[in-house]
């Protein structure tokens, strides 16, 4: 399907992501929080229990960042299909420095093989200039 010609001013996508490790001590699950802004206007927010059980904060934060990455891809596609011009890259902001550094620096090495799918999904979209991932102190 062909996309319509973009019209109007470019829109900036900003997404905040966070994960709360072991929020539910009985079930040992983590909670993902995602907040989506279009030109500083909130349009979507998600707070949901993660489907996987992670043994550390790094894994739960990485999983949350993968979900946020998928939301960015989906949102960019929908906006482009209705002819909305987009700013260069979406901005993903997270509060876990380890996750941000490990997914943005090409020289960093993934230490946990169990997190490989999330790690590569995020890195692929950063390399493709779909999004930028930065640290945001809460």
- pLDDT by residue (tens digit) across 55-111? 678 888 999 999 999 999 999 999 999 999 999 999 999 999 999 999 999 888 777
Strands annotated E in 25-118: 29-38, 41-49, 90-94
Q: Which residues pair with 75 in a beta bridge?
A: none
Kindly report the pTM of this predicted structure.
Answer: 0.90
CA distance 46 to 65: 12
Strands 13-24 and 90-94: parallel
How many Å apart are CA 64 and CA 18, to the nearest integer? 7
Could you tell me which of 15, 7, 13, 2 has the C-alpha nearest to residue 92?
15
């Amino acid at each position: 399907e062909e996309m319509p010609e973009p019209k109007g001013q470019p829109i900036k996508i900003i997404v905040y992501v966070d994960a709360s490790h072991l929020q539910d001590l009985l079930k040992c699950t983590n909670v993902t929080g995602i907040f989506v802004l279009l030109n500083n206007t909130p349009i979507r927010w998600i707070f949901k229990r993660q489907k996987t059980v992670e043994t550390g904060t790094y894994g739960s934060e990485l999983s949350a960042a993968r979900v946020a990455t998928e939301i960015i891809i989906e949102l960019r596609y929908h906006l482009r299909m209705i002819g909305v011009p987009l700013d260069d890259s979406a901005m993903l902001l997270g509060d876990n420095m380890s996750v941000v550094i490990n997914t943005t620096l090409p020289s960093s090495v993934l230490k946990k093989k169990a997190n490989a799918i999330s790690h590569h999904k995020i890195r692929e979209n950063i390399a493709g200039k779909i999004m930028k991932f930065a640290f945001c102190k809460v």
